Structure 1
Amino acid sequence: MSVNIPGIISVIGFYLVVLVIGICAGRKTARSSQVEGIFLADRNLGLIVSFFTLTATMVGGAFINGTAEIMASQGFLWTQAPIGYCVALFIGGMVYGPKMRRAGYVTMFDPFQEKYGLRVGAILCISQFLGDLFWTAAVLSALGSTIAIIVDWDQTMSVIVSACVAISYTVLGGLWSVAYTDVVQLLCIALGLFLAFPFALEHPAVDLSRIEDTWVGHLETKQIGVFIDIYGLLMMGGIPWQVYYQRILACKTPFRAKISSMVAAVFCLVFAIPPSIMGLAASAADWNQTSYEGPGYIPKDQMGFVLPLTLQYLCPPAVSIIGLGAVSAAVMSSADSSILATASVFTNNVYRNVFRQKASDRELIWILRISTIVAGTLSTVIAVTVKSVYGLYVLCSDLMYVILFPQFTCVLFVKITNTYGGIFGFALAFVLRVFSGEPLIGLPTFIKFPFYDENEGQLFPFRTFIMACSFLSTVLVSILLKYIFKRKWIPDRYDVFGCFTTESEDGVEEENKRILPGMRPMEKATRKQSDGALPEPETIPLKETT
């Protein structure tokens, strides 16, 4: 196949447009001398922009490629991501997001450090770092494969160019650039996918009667545990991600954060329609009637490329190029968000809170920019060198579910939890998950849960079980340690994390409260917030001044 010159020109043109918009949007950041301008767009995202950027972040390259793949290979029942992410956004918008926004946190790890201490809270950032790095690498790798299939451009070069564009405008403009480019990228996704799927469906090689008995999918009794586990991973494991809270915390008000999240949830389902139909078209096609060089079906090892193959062989050339723009937009909307999320957490929760508590805003801005370049570079290197990127991402996503979700829920809603319970719950979940095995990266199985099968692996909803164990152990160990110290069975000098005190200033026994750098106790509210609720008696971060 010869190089598709018009396709390459269109990809380069799309990248230039995105880069220019990102740079122009970044001028808002350039006028700000405070790091919060880059972290959270001065907490000034309006309703429309916040909705667009939330939707674009969720409807990324993995979302549309994965939806098409699962619909083509396993049918509607197993296409769980759109529904799972929709529910996650609803729960986040109704429960978690407004509480975080009212507290005025900078990242989702602020409440961890406020509750567990700066260093222990920083340790919990590790799973987020790994998850974002491998997520970015996975979507960049998928983009490289897509461009290689449609325009026959070198895969490694396409990954490097795409990463450089995303890193450039993210470094210059922070969240302002990412948010405004998300608006353009979401429009490109809508145009490309909604234009392409009718052509794929009407191609002469597609006969839907071939799949009338299989498109729904089949759920065997022994697969019920796996089915439940995946929904738990998507719905609850989709909540504790910094890319989501970076946008929630950047909204002007808690009410706008709630509405943006709920509207984005609905549009996640809407944007799942085109890739789902294209997956059906791919499974119903006789590929011998196309120019595809292979059997009359897509082999199992090619299922990950269902969407680009459908664009290339079941759509006219012009439509496939526009569809490629949609895939590129989806990937970049995920990549830039993950890179910025990683850099923000490192700068705020590791560099400032642990090492440089008196760092100036100017210093933090430069650390954020350097971290953005490093995170983007690491993701690019992983994308072009590691063969099992998706397997690593799956394992990290599991860790977000089994470790971060129960811990995140505890620090926000269970006041009795403390550092000792958090450490125990973290360690227990990590050990149980690693010992449960992961075939995608060759991790052996040491713990075999009920219904384990040597060929199919864990059939028990073990991730959900581990998550529940982590939550319960965090609460119970916290209660136990508080009771032990209260009864003086262990002297106060052994309270190495400083979780308990004998008496507060007014004579009431209470746990120590940790104030993050640049934070003070929230003053009593004198008026209602825009969402009709009074702020809770938490601590809120203040802008640092130079």
Structure 2
Amino acid sequence: MYLIFLLIGWYASKKVKKGSASEILVAGRSMPLLLATLTMTATWVDGGYILGTAESAFTSIPLAWQGGVGFGLSLIVGGIFFASVMQKRGYTTFIDPFEERFGKKWAAVLSIPAILGELFWSAELLVAIGATFGVILNIDLSTAIIFSAAIVTLYTMIGGLWAVAYTDAFQLILIPIGLIIAIPFVLHFTGTDLSTTWMHYKSIKGDAASIFPPVHVNSFWNLQGITTWWDISIMLILGGIPWNCYFQRVFSSKTPKIARNQSIIAGILTILMTIPPLILGVVAVVYWNGNLTEPALAIPLLLENLVPRWVALLGLAAIVGAVTSSFSSSILSAGSMFSWNWYLRLIAPKSQKRNIGKIIRLSILSLGTAAIVIALKVQSVQKLWYFTSDLVFVLLFPQLVIALFDKKSNRIGSIVAFSVSLVLRAAGGEPLFAIPALINYPEWWPVRTIAALAGLILLPLVSRLVKQKNRAAVS
């Protein structure tokens, strides 16, 4: 399968004829609708999406579908409000509107959480693929991580976005095939059909088995749990927009209309892709009676124990396809922002155009290597990625909205909004890292949403106050 990935990447690399930044980073802005839709869907349907959906079924159904539906809605919202505007303006990375509105240096600062988010996401994906290989094929974690990353980094360097898009299309096909084929086999162990399995699940989980979003307190959901669920849902929907791996596909589209349509269609496909891992998660809960030492490995353990070997290998192919497609997108995205918004804008703006291809490929190689090191050394990679995703929403979503749609915004307003949002979010503490809260917010307080909203209000407000003050000083 990895050999097929390499062959597809090599074939796609033929489209990169001049080695220009446009060809490598945004596929020459000539990607057709179908291919653009498939690569965007594949980017969002990653290993964490599949394994995390099944894992969360051990807690509750709303938590299980929250990620997939939230990501899908982010693509739909992005398509309706952002895609056509960004594509029409001819940007290369999603940091470009910050540079246009606030200047190169501050835009480079704003790119830091974006690059870190992509880097930690890449590392988390490698850990997921390594753990899956270990369960099903009994391969050493380090070997699986290094081998997988080397293959994907190689074809990403060779062909840029074209190679990523073509391999994404193939990898996306593997996902529903590998997971759906496994469902009849595992259902045989929990009641022979889905309805019987579902009844068993409801008897085990009680109120946690409700398929609807939590809106009132019951035996499972308390006030804090309900508020946190909605806070994270808003983060997933709006915080899923300011990512360069998303806009890279928007910029690759031929027209603004294609950019909008591919985003909306990809969002619908992303939501539908939630169904197979959700069913497998429900089966896992019933089979292990709600008790499993490592719920994150629920799908690999089902494939290892309850299905024929050939089905397990197809399931493994689905997970590998999901992980590798997102990993390639992530390192290409991070490499794009570093090479375009840091090296070519700040570090060496006078560098020769003929060297741009080499610089981009070297950035991809360096960041791919960094992701391997993080995956091998850091135990809480998933926590790091989750926290940076949190910061991307809190810090960058307000900046993107105002930079795009408010011509009166300026750098001072951006700096103030960024700083206040960061302080408000940090003051709420972070349980993932045992960071204590500096401000005792009420338990129902949606800290992420409030911090982002503060930035959304302050950026245009402070920008206008600064302009008024400058006019007054001049007069």
Compute the TM-score of the two structures, normalised by the length of structure 1: 0.82
Aligned match for 1:473, one of 458, 463, 473: 458
Q: Where does 1:454-493 land on structure 2 (aligned, <5 Å)?
A: 459-488=444-473
CA distance in 1, matches of 2:288, 2:358: 55
Counterpart in the other structure of 1:28: 15
Deviation, structure 1 residue 401: 0.6
Deviates more, 1:68-77 or 1:55-64: 68-77
Displacement of 1:191 in angstroms is 1.3
Alpha-carbon shift at residue 77 of structure 1 (Å): 5.4
Letter of the 1:486 counterpart: R
Q: Which residue of 2 aligns with 1:391?
A: 383
Question: Does the alignment pair 1:431 with 2:423?
Answer: yes
The correspondence of residues 154-169 of structure 1 with structure 2, limited to 5 A, is 154-169=140-155
Contact 2:55–2:64 (8 Å) recurs in 1: no
Residue equivalent to 1:3: none
Distance 1:110 1:413 in 2: 14
1:19 aligns with 2:6: yes
Question: Which residue of the other structure, out of 102, 110, 116, is the alignment partner of 2:88?
Answer: 102
Structure 1: distance between partners of 2:82 and 2:67: 20
1:276 aligns with 2:278: yes
Distance 1:130 1:77, change over 3 A: closer
Q: Does 1:48 align with 2:34?
A: yes
Question: Pairwise mapping of residues 258-273 of structure 1 onto structure 2 (< 5 A)?
Answer: 258-273=260-275
Equivalent residue, structure 2, for 1:124? 110
Given residue 15 of structure 1, which amino acid in structure 2 is its aligned partner? Y
SS, match of residue 252 in structure 2: coil
**1 CA distance for matches of 2:312 and 2:324?**
18
Matched, 1:186 2:204: no
Further displaced range: 98-107 or 221-230: 221-230
Match of 1:406 in 2: 398
Report the equivalent of 2:184.
198
RMSD: 1.6
User: Cα distance 1:204–1:210, how it changes in 2: closer, same or farther (>3 A)?
Assistant: closer
CA distance in 1, matches of 2:47, 2:270: 13
Alpha-carbon separation, structure 2, partners of 1:362 and 1:171:
16
Paired residues of 1:69 and 1:304 also in contact (CA < 8 A): yes
* Inter-CA distance 437–77: structure 2 relative to 1 (3 Å threshold): closer
Structure 1 residue 286 displacement after superposition: 4.0
Kindly indicate whether the alpha-carbon contact (under 8 Å) linking 2:24 and 2:160 is maintained by their aligned counterparts in 1. yes
Partner in structure 2 of residue 84 of structure 1: 70
Deviation at 1:402, TM superposition (A): 0.3
Counterparts of 1:177 and 1:286 in 2: how far apart (Å)?
Answer: 41
**Matches of 2:187 and 2:263, distance apart in 1:** 32
Counterpart code for 1:262: I
What does residue 368 of structure 1 align with?
360
Deviation at 1:211, TM superposition (A): 1.6
Deviations 1:139-168 (A, max 9, x none): 110110011011111011001101001100
Structure-1 residue corresponding to 2:243: 241
CA offsets per residue over residues 375-400 of structure 1, 9 Å max, x none? 00111111111011111111100110
3-state SS of paired residue (1:162): helix
After superposition, residues 206-245 of structure 1 pair within 5 angstroms as 208=197, 209-213=199-203, 214=205, 215-216=209-210, 218-245=220-247
- Residues 29, 251 of structure 2: 8 Å contact kept: yes
Counterpart CA distance in 2 for 1:231 and 1:410 is: 22
Note the C-alpha offset of 1:219. 3.0
Task: Determine the structure 1 residue equivalent to 2:134.
Answer: 148
Give, as a single letter, the amino acid of the residue that structure 2 aligns with 1:210: H
Label 1:384 to 1:442 Cα distance change in 2 as closer, same or farther (>3 A): same
* Residue 28 (structure 1) shift: 1.1
Structure 1: how far apart are the matches of 2:263 and 2:455?
27
The structure richer in helix per residue is 2
Whether the 8 Å CA contact 1:205–1:286 is kept in 2: the answer is no
Structure of higher CA gyration radius: 1
**Pair 1:336-2:309 in alignment:** no
The one-letter code of the counterpart of 1:298 is L
Distance 2:350 2:225 in 1: 53
Structure 1, residues 471-499: CA drift from partner, whole Å, max 9, x if none? 111121111111100111xx6xxxxxxxx
Does the 8 Å contact 1:197/1:275 carry over to 2?
Answer: no
1:204 Cα deviation from its structure 2 partner: 5.2
Superposition deviation, residue 245 in structure 1? 0.4
Partner of 2:214: none
Distance 1:78 1:315 in 2: 23
Q: Is 1:379 matched with 2:404?
A: no
Cα deviation 1:527-546 (Å, max 9, x = unaligned): xxxxxxxxxxxxxxxxxxxx
Residue in structure 1 matched with residue 160 of structure 2 by the alignment:
174
Amino acid at match of 1:284: V
Report the Cα distance in structure 1 between the residues aligned to 2:240 and 2:224, rounded to whole angstroms: 25
Give the structure 1 partner of residue 217 of structure 2.
none
Shift of 1:223: 2.0
Which amino acid counterpart does residue 450 of structure 1 have in structure 2?
A: P
Q: TM-score, normalised by structure 2?
A: 0.93
Go from structure 1 to structure 2 and tell me whether the alpha carbon gap of 1:36 and 1:436 turns closer, same or farther (over 3 Å shift): same
Deviations 1:493-516 (A, max 9, x none): xxxxxxxxx9xxxxxxxxxxxxxx
AA matched with 2:458: S
Over 3 Å counting, the alpha-carbon distance change for 1:204 and 1:477 in structure 2 is: closer
Equivalent residue number for residue 138 of structure 1: 124
Match of 1:105, SS?
A: coil
1:351 paired residue number: 343
Distance in structure 2 (CA, Å) of the matches to 1:329 and 1:26: 19
How much has 1:224 moved relative to structure 2? Answer: 2.1
> What code does the residue aligned with 1:418 have?
N
Instruction: Kindly indicate whether the alpha-carbon contact (under 8 Å) linking 1:90 and 1:265 is maintained by their aligned counterparts in 2.
Output: yes
8 A contact 1:205–1:285 mirrored in 2: no
Kindly state the Cα deviation for residue 188 of structure 1 after the two structures are TM-superposed: 1.0
In structure 1, C-alpha distance between the alignment counterparts of 2:434 and 2:247, rounded to whole Å:
33
Tell me the distance in 2 between the aligned counterparts of 1:205 and 1:440: 37
Match of residue 316 from structure 1: 308
Q: CA separation of 1:262/1:346 partners in 2, compared to 1, >3 Å: closer, same or farther?
A: same
Q: Retained in 1: the 8 A contact 2:251–2:259?
A: yes
Is the Cα–Cα contact under 8 Å of residues 429 and 436 in structure 2 kept in the other structure?
Answer: yes
Q: Look up the equivalent residue of 1:467 and give its one-letter code.
A: A
* Paired residue type of 2:460: V
Cross-structure match for 1:443: 435
Deviating more after overlay: 47-56 vs 73-82: 73-82
Q: Structure 1: which amino acid aligns with 2:234?
A: G
Cα 1:467–1:286, aligned 2, differ >3 Å: closer, same or farther? Answer: closer
Q: Secondary structure at the match of 1:16?
A: helix
Q: Which runs of 5+ in 1 are unaligned?
A: 1-13, 288-295, 452-458, 492-501, 503-546
Is 2:176–2:276's contact at 8 Å kept on the other side of the alignment?
A: no
Q: Find runs of 4+ consecutive structure 1 residues off by over 3 angstroms.
A: 204-207
1:246-257 aligned at under 5 Å gives the runs 246-257=248-259
